[in-house]
Structure 1
């Protein structure tokens, strides 16, 4: 994962727009990490209590707006905690983006102590979320927070 972290740093430190950086990060994670089949960012609209889809890599999704509390992403908007499901079929509040999704991780992004968004990863494999991947994503969200 060191190689991926270095490539993330290069993307973050280049002169493109924030959306371009986020899209390149999504593409990098999807293309280079086994089991990361859909990678995207959602950003919070606290007034409307809704998550808005930002840059992503993977199949198109109809979930461009997710109410707080709905699905795993909506739960993270409320709980402010990373949520990992190694088998989404076991989740009561799962919001299916694809019939192929087997596991998912959602990691919140904080700016000045406030949850402003999250990175959402879907995998077509059960048990695809390792401790190493969790550490990579938590480190990534800190880096993202610094540029937002």
Structure 2
């Protein structure tokens, strides 16, 4: 399914009534994992700015031991500091990478802003080398813009 076709589905999940925030986040993760062939692990991490840590939120994919990540550590931790998208075409080429599984070949992390503050991020792992394009970045920015409404 194309990113343009996925956008109204994401918006509908965010707008769904009588559903908790975590249920909506999980539904978005599931939608993306099901609809995009190379999205093999999709999840959210949320920032604790006092402790300078990220905490795992809803996700779809293989279980992970990385439930708390210090700011600056790994791809997610670096995004917590940089406030910028981070696309890793080949995780084996990254010095500051936290290995989740030997099957993960690439990763994309896009920060989630609410009122100008980076409150977390969407993290996607792929079992394919270098699948992420600028279209993925723009789409995930849209997803996070919609998700941001859940925190207002």
Please classify the TM superposition score into its range, dividing by the shorter chain length.
over 0.9
**TM-fit CA distance, 1:3:** 1.4
Please name the residue that 1:4 is paired with: 6
Aligned length: 148
Please name the residue that 1:66 is paired with: 69
Please name the residue that 1:141 is paired with: 144
SS in 2 for 1:97: coil
Please name the residue that 1:104 is paired with: 107
Where does structure 1 lack aligned partners over 5 or more consecutive residues? Answer: none
Instruction: Give the aligned CA root-mean-square deviation in angstroms.
Output: 0.7
**TM-fit CA distance, 1:78:** 0.6
SS in 2 for 1:110: strand
The reply to whether residue 43 of structure 1 matches residue 46 of structure 2 is: yes
Runs of 4+ that moved beyond 6 A: none
> Normalised by the size of structure 1, how large is the TM-score?
0.98
**TM-fit CA distance, 1:11:** 0.6
Please name the residue that 2:25 is paired with: 22
> Normalised by the size of structure 2, how large is the TM-score?
0.95
Please name the residue that 1:92 is paired with: 95
Where does structure 2 lack aligned partners over 5 or more consecutive residues? Answer: none
